[in-house]
Chain A
Amino acid sequence: EVQLVEAGGGLVQPGGSLRLSCAASGFTFSLYSMNWVRQAPGKGLEWISYIHTSGTTIYYADSVKGRFTISRDNAKNSLYLQMSSLRDDDTAVYYCAMYSGSLDFWGQGALVTVSS
């Protein structure tokens, strides 16, 4: 059974940093590209970042470019999102998702709240 489990969410002040992780199991992690997608409270889905299997190809949404860094450790079956210079409008549930053209499986999400 595919499982994706996010961790690392919490309350952070504007301008602060936070690192999310996503632990993968039930599939060969190194063979799949991965994405981060977020959802602000009561709002729709927003794609924010993509990383290819080897980590050599990476994309970001304009809204997070220069502030967020996606990475992965295939030996640990883990995906990461380093977030810095956080703003109020980064408050959202952050989902990791396995990609095969579509977003086939999603984690349960990690809530990040940016507030003073």
Chain B
Amino acid sequence: EIVLTQSPDFQSVTPKEKVTITCRASQNIGNNLHWYQQKPDQSPKLLIKFASQSFLGVPSRFSGSGSGTDFTLTINSLEVEDAATYYCHQSSGLPPTFGQGTKLEIK
């Protein structure tokens, strides 16, 4: 099973700050890495697919990069509405797996 490790687990940030969340895979997964945002009491929503492709309707302040084992989700100029838990997900191997999540709190 491919293990995805996110860092940090939790981050408290101020609006307009730049945020970087990383996801490390336990083996090479190419670009088969996706990012989701989950707000409290809501279902997850896809932000970035295949490491760097922005999903339709996602604000341009969200971007993704990386390949192989190391991936990054960047939020430029954080907004209050970005308070959420962010998950990475790999679809390279069976079973598909998720990172443990990174919770962003807005100060």
Contacts and interface: CB of A to CB of B under 8 A. Distances in A.
Mostly, the A contact residues are: strand
Interface of A: 35, 44-47, 50, 59, 61-62, 95, 101-109
A104 B46 contact: yes
A102 B32 CA distance: 8
Contacts, number: 51
Bin chain B's interface residue count.
20 to 34
Interface of B: 32, 34, 36, 43-46, 49-50, 55, 87, 89, 91, 94-101
Contact of A45 (B91, B94, B95, B98): B98
Secondary structure call for the B interface = loop
A106 B95 contact: no
A47 B101 CA distance: 14
A95 B89 CA distance: 15
Nearest to B35: A102
15 contacts: A44-B98, A44-B99, A45-B87, A47-B97, A59-B94, A59-B95, A62-B95, A101-B91, A102-B34, A102-B46, A102-B50, A102-B55, A103-B89, A106-B43, A109-B43
